Amino acid sequence: MSQRKHWEGVYSSKQADALGWYKPQLETSFAWIEALGLDEDAPIIDVGGGASTLVDDLLEAGHRALTVLDLSTEALAVVRARLGEKGAGVEWLTGDVTAIDLPKHHFALWHDRAAFHFLTEVAQQQAYQNQLLKALQPGGHLIIGTFAPQAPPRCSGLPVQRYTHEELSRVLGGDFELQRHHNELHVTPGGVEQMYLYCHFRRKEQAIAGGR
């Protein structure tokens, strides 16, 4: 089964608040984003946003240039229905983050909670890094939440890659400088404990070799 079929099946068979990664609000992500002091028109992308309420909170805070990307049309349908007219200005993208065409050096912030750790192959991780280098502005911010080493080795029936902040820094490469990190325990609606690693990276300002 392809990853897209897997996630379409997950979101069509379960309520969003029953999914393992569900939180009513992504408090850490939102607090870290707001601490950046970005302009309200600064372009932000939420990768693997699914049915998360982060986009709701960012809209409420006044952010006007939001993009939500997910593999699942079912997931995006849930959040679009929830937002109604409030979400009219959001750009909704369905696709694979490692392959979808994203605008060059467009985003001031790339946010990802619980998407990157499903990329368990080196080629997938490299493709993700290439997309970051293409789409994120020099000097732009990356806020990412992945499974920490203490977390289970699988989520939603799929294997995951778990990281320390040192390991994540190595995978992302020398173009990204770690600004802050911390571990946070998430308890799923079913009572399973998952330790998350949250990291804030900043992309270096210098031009990237090869024009990326």
Per residue in 117-156, pLDDT (tens digit) is: 999 999 999 999 999 999 999 999 999 999 999 999 998 8
pLDDT bin (cut points 50, 70, 90) of residue 115 is: very high
Q: What is the pLDDT of residue 13?
A: 59
On whether the CB atoms of residues 26 and 113 are closer than 8 A, the answer is yes
Can you state the angle between helices 73-83 and 3-13, rounded to 10 degrees?
40
Q: What are phi and psi of 51, to 5 degrees?
A: -100, 20
Strand runs labelled E in 23-157: 44-47, 66-70, 91-94, 107-113, 136-147, 154-155
What is the maximal distance between C-alpha atoms in the chain?
47
Residue matched to tokens 């998430």: 186
Fold for the domain defined by 3-7+39-206: Rossmann fold (3.40.50)
- pTM value is 0.90
On whether the CB atoms of residues 38 and 66 are closer than 8 A, the answer is no
Output the average pLDDT for the chain. Answer: 90
Q: What is the pLDDT of residue 157?
A: 85
Alpha carbon of residue 18 to chain centroid:
19
Per residue in 45-61, pLDDT (tens digit) is: 999 998 899 999 999 99
Q: What is the pLDDT of residue 188?
A: 80
| Residues of the chain above pLDDT 90, percent | 75
Q: Provide the pairing of β-strand 44-47 with 66-70.
A: parallel
pLDDT bin (cut points 50, 70, 90) of residue 206 is: confident
On whether the CB atoms of residues 178 and 201 are closer than 8 A, the answer is yes
CA distance readout (Å), 184 to 43, 58, 171, 178 = 27, 21, 21, 17
Residue of 145 and 207 predicted with greater confidence: 145
